[in-house]
Amino acid sequence: MAQDAYALATQPGGMSFIVNPLDRCAERRGDSDWLARLMAQPDARFVVATAGKLVLRTGVAGMRHTLAQAQALGQDGAETAFLGLEPTGAPLFACTSTLTEDDLEIRDGLEVVDLRSLALRRDLAEADIGALAQARALAHWHLSHRFCSRCGAKTQMAEAGYRRDCPSCQAQHFPRTDPVVIMLITHGDKVLLGRPPRLAEGVYTTLAGFMEPGETVEDAVRRETYEESRIRVGAVDIVLNQPWPFPANLMLGCRGVAVSTDIEIGQDELEACHWYSRAEVETMLAGTHPDGHRIPPGISIAHHLILGWLKETAA
């Protein structure tokens, strides 16, 4: 059953990165004069990023820097992307700092923090977290695509940050988003959860994996589940999706019905994988599982796939 992503984001403990009310004004990204006027407006604000983190101002300003403040952090106008117009009409841009994280961390009034930690803290509005996800993904792409993959020449930002052009061979490069299937696999009243080594101690989650070229979402679910657990999957439904800017993924949340039950960890991606009953998953959600097992936090799509199944089976 499809779930309402907006409702999941706006409820307490909701899923992060899916509320972003910015008007991206895609049809005007090629108008350099318009963009220059926006950048010079007194109400223009700038999100500042490093290679892996975001630079926030302490107090009410939060993620929004004025132009002068962004310039003091090394903002380069030629490498500044336009995120969009806020509901107030104020323009919001994103840029990367030319200063090191160590230099930024010792400056008064600044906080250098990763986006995942910000989302977990929940002290910013979900709309701001969504805009930061957009900024973080764009910043990562620009930092990692400064040179043309065709000829090796240095590229230039174009289309307000949504393209990079090569002046040498005229190649055009566009930001990439990598689709990932993340699937809740069920068999009767049990659900399949695994534990990748990268997760915090005790956390078990839904299986997931990158889609491959020429593959449907459904086939990716079946292939990844089999590769990781040797469980065969039959019917598959797409129920939910979430931008996941680590660095630039789109999580395609699915439900799949297992047609086999014998688990064999097939790759080195999982250190454990089990079938859990509804009663066990409820203790994992409540933090009372006898072995300390728990599910991922509410910012993630995995949490809401599991929670949706719990609510459905309780009905």
Residues 225-279 have pLDDT tens digits of 999 999 999 999 999 999 999 999 999 999 999 999 999 997 678 999 999 999 9
The domains found in the chain, sorted by start residue, are 15-144 (3.90.79), 147-175 (no CATH), 178-314 (3.90.79.10)
Tell me what the mean pLDDT of segment 87-109 comes to.
94
Tell me what the mean pLDDT of segment 97-106 comes to.
92
pLDDT recorded at residue 304: 95
pLDDT recorded at residue 266: 72
Residues 149-168 have pLDDT tens digits of 999 999 999 999 999 999 99
- For residues 58 and 148, which has the higher predicted lDDT (pLDDT)? 148
Residue 216's pLDDT band (boundaries 50, 70, 90)? very high
Q: What distance, in Å, lies between the first and last C-alpha atoms of the chain?
A: 13
Tell me what the mean pLDDT of segment 183-197 comes to.
97
Predicted confidence (pLDDT) at residue 48 exceeds the cutoff of 80 = yes
pLDDT recorded at residue 61: 74
- For residues 11 and 92, which has the higher predicted lDDT (pLDDT)? 92
What percent of the chain clears pLDDT 70, i.e. is strictly above it? 95
Residues 11-38 have pLDDT tens digits of 556 899 999 999 999 999 999 999 999 9
- For residues 59 and 263, which has the higher predicted lDDT (pLDDT)? 263
Kindly report the average pLDDT of the chain as a whole number.
Answer: 93
Residue 1's pLDDT band (boundaries 50, 70, 90)? very low
Predicted confidence (pLDDT) at residue 145 exceeds the cutoff of 70 = yes
